Structure 1
Amino acid sequence: MQSTLRDLRQISVSHLVDTVKSPEPKIHYDEHVAYWKNTTGYHDYQLFLRRLNESVVGYTVPHPSDLADAASGNHSQAITDLITLLDTLDKWIDDSPAQKPGTTTPRFGNPTFRDYWGDRLIKESDHLLRTFLGPTYSTALRFVKPYFLESFGSFRRLDYGTGHETTFSLFLCTLMLIRVFHPHPPDERALVLRVFVRYLRLCWRLQDVYKLEPAGSHGVWGLDDYSFLPYLFGSGQLRDQTMVPVNAVLGIKIPKGAHPVDSFDNLYFMAIARIHQVKCGPFFEHSSQLYSIATHVQRWAKVNKGLFEMYQAEVLGKRVVVQHLPLGGLIEWDH
């Protein structure tokens, strides 16, 4: 089906002149959500997600040893460079103090996330992105930086949610629009199975170390407190298979001390395993939507289709989620 999807359009960096405004939040009222769904940027993003999804059908996440070697595979050098950038952000967690002297460890939202890790990201983002973009794409810095800064959680609210995950996906979309990455299956597949997996590992670690709260959690009727796209891409990987037995989905366990990324080669199963890491109690109580999918949907193709529709409605169509998205510039805010 990959060939039935058109290429994502290309935006020349030479067209990014000073008169083009940098992206900023534009969704303030419910009527803005309806407008957003009819913009060029929204449709570019939808096509981008569809192409990523098609690229991973029938493929698995590389073995952990291959994931550690960012240069392995036939993808572009930019993929390797972005993984290296994410590795750098991960190392900052080791450098940060656990908490300020004389303070107690907070149950949720460790201020060190804002005062050290976030502050460092803000201060060093220009250097990190200039190094990554290189001179060829340096003009695009102010158009991709707002997405980069909003991808890892809120430094003000000390939380993380599907809006931040979407912002990172939009960051990848902007880079493909200007052809840092290319709309070809090897790059698209690597963006999901290598870059996005590396991003997940980083964000899970940020959540654990800094005790980040879920951003606007939907509770038991939401798909997941923190993420959505792992389920979308994971069901895409399995789309051509029949549904596996329910116990194989809901009974996922990982060895003590192991990591979901190291234990599974499918993003859907990784995300389920992550839930078992952070939540207790019956699965049908704390993750009712995922339980319903596992017990009532018989084919992965139907799961994948339904999750696209749910993502459009429950993530991209909810003002409380998308009101913080930077829009304009490369993700064009025109009808």
Structure 2
Amino acid sequence: MAETEQQSGSTPEDEAPEFTYMVPKKEISMVPHMGKWKKSQAYADYMGFILTLNESVKGKKLTCDYKVSETAEKLVDLLATLDRWIDETPPVDQPSRFGNKAYRTWYGKLDQEAEALVSAVIPADKHAAAAEIAVYLKESVGNSTRIDYGTGHEAAFAAFLCCLCKVGALKVEDQLAIVFKVFARYLSVMRKLQRTYRMEPAGSQGVWGLDDFQFLPFIWGSSQLVDHPTMEPRHFLDEKVVNEHHSDYMFLDCIKFINEMKTGPFAEHSNQLWNISAVPLWSKVNQGLIRMYKAECLEKFPVIQHFKFGSLLSIEPVKP
């Protein structure tokens, strides 16, 4: 979050900020454009944001003491609203087992309300940014045409949080609350969406992917476990350990969710995670997952072609 004011979004108060903000749009329409993405200010800011949070949660439990600002509370309220809408929009009877069409009704509500929801979270003098930031919120909950959800949608939520930092709604002291309070709440809402509407995994690699739906909680969750006095990576295969410690560690909470949703040997349904259990140190797991995230998500055209760029997350190259 050190990179919050690097771009023209930080206009002096006496200038009209309207010209700065723009509704984000797709810029990566073919594979050769991927180079433009990796050299962009957006990529630098996004990766910087992920790594800053990775560092901030290192060795800390979900249950530790941390500051929760008014903005963080408002974001939790926003996510509670999305959660309530799921209850108000039950699945419909349909012949197809997957992709319940009631999701489209739920998504329609968010589509209409997103800008108002964002306006309630950001400072009054930054309301001109609401339309831009709202796009990332809408992108973060899955695709209403395909009724699927994947790591690209998760990345949109991280981008949404990054934009909130850039406009000053979230600050450096919010780092732990961003992961432990806001992102954790987002995760629970996404799991409820996935279960309620039986959403398909977007671009799933099946058994060869890390997880059907998420990636970031494994990165930040492994950072939490760095230098843990007793728990080694091999221990997450032990269901007793997972059940005892999942409320303290995001990584174990993800494993618990997988154990609840999938049947059969862990090595078969979650081969990549099973391989990770053989790594001796959590610090090595964390470094490996960051490399894998870049390679499997951020450098994959099928994921990045959907990413949208505006003034806050710009496609322009990083300034030397």
Distance 1:19 1:60 in 2: 39
Corresponding residue to 1:321 among 298, 303, 307: 303
Q: Could you tell me how far apart the structure 1 residues matched to 2:261 and 2:155 are?
A: 22
Match of 2:252 among 269, 279, 290: 269
Shift of 1:58: 1.5
Query: Alpha-carbon deviation of 1:104?
Result: 2.9
Deviation per residue, 1:247-304 (Å, 9 max, x gap): 521132699xxxx899421111011111111111111111111111102x10011111
Per the alignment, residue 287 of structure 1 pairs with 270
Corresponding position of 1:252: 239
Partner of 1:117: 106
Kept after mapping to 2: 8 A contact 1:62/1:265? yes
What is the match of residue 226 of structure 2? 239
Q: Which runs of 5+ in 1 are unaligned?
A: 1-5, 64-71
CA contact (8 A) 1:197 1:261 kept: no
Pairwise CA RMSD of aligned residues?
2.3
Change beyond 3 A, Cα 1:247–1:307? closer
Gaps of 5+ in 2: none
Quote the residue 1:35 is aligned against: 36
SS in 1 for 2:18: coil
Per-residue CA deviations over 1:163-193 (Å, capped at 9, x if unaligned) read 0000000000011111111123xx1111001
For the 8 Å contact 1:78–1:180, the answer to whether it is kept is yes
Residues 80-229 of structure 1 aligned to structure 2 (within 5 Å): 80-99=73-92, 103-104=93-94, 106-114=96-104, 116-184=105-173, 187-229=174-216
Q: Does the 8 A contact of 1:253 with 1:276 survive in 2? A: no
Give the alignment of 1:6-21 within 5 angstroms.
7-10=2-5, 11-12=9-10, 16-18=17-19, 20-21=21-22
Match of 1:68 in 2: none
Aligned-residue offset at 1:239: 1.8
Contact 1:242–1:298, Cα closer than 8 Å, also in 2 = no
Whole-angstrom distance in 2 between the partners of 1:285 and 1:46: 31
Q: Percent identity?
A: 38
User: Corresponding residue for 2:290?
Assistant: 308
Corresponding letter in the other structure for 1:113 = Y
Amino acid at match of 1:284: A
After TM superposition, give the deviation of residue 242 of structure 1 in Å. 6.6
Deviates more, 1:33-42 or 1:236-245: 236-245
Aligned with 2:172: secondary structure? coil
CA contact (8 A) 1:243 1:300 kept: no
Give the residue type in structure 2 aligned to 1:94.
D
- 8 Å CA contact 2:21, 2:132 repeated in 1: no
TM-score by length of 1: 0.87
8 Å Cα contact 2:66-2:176 kept in structure 1: no
CA deviation after TM superposition for structure 1 residue 325, in Å: 1.1
2:61–2:224 Cα contact (<8 Å) kept: yes
Matched with 1:59 is 60
User: Which AA in structure 1 matches 2:259?
Assistant: H
Aligned-pair CA distance for 1:136: 2.2
Residue identity matched to 2:27: K
Give the Å deviation of 1:105: 5.6
The runs of at least 4 consecutive aligned structure 1 residues that moved more than 4 Å come to 13-16, 260-263
Aligned-residue offset at 1:33: 1.4
1:27·1:33 contact (CA, 8 Å) conserved in 2? yes
- Give 1:126 deviation, angstroms: 2.1
Aligned residues: 311
* Change over 3 Å in CA distance of 1:139–1:252 after alignment to 2: same
Does the 8 Å CA contact 1:165/1:227 hold for their aligned counterparts? yes
Rounded to whole Å, the distance in 2 between the matches of 1:307 and 1:39 is 22
Counterparts in 2 of 1:166 and 1:15: CA distance versus 1, 3 Å: farther
Which digits, 9 at most, give the CA deviation of each residue in 1:43-82, with x for residues without a partner?
A: 011111111011111211128xxxxxxxx94232100110
TM-score norm. by structure 2 comes to: 0.91
CA contact (8 A) 2:26 2:305 kept: yes
What is the rounded CA distance, in whole Å, between the counterparts of 1:246 and 1:126 in structure 2? 42
State the one-letter code of the partner of 2:262: K
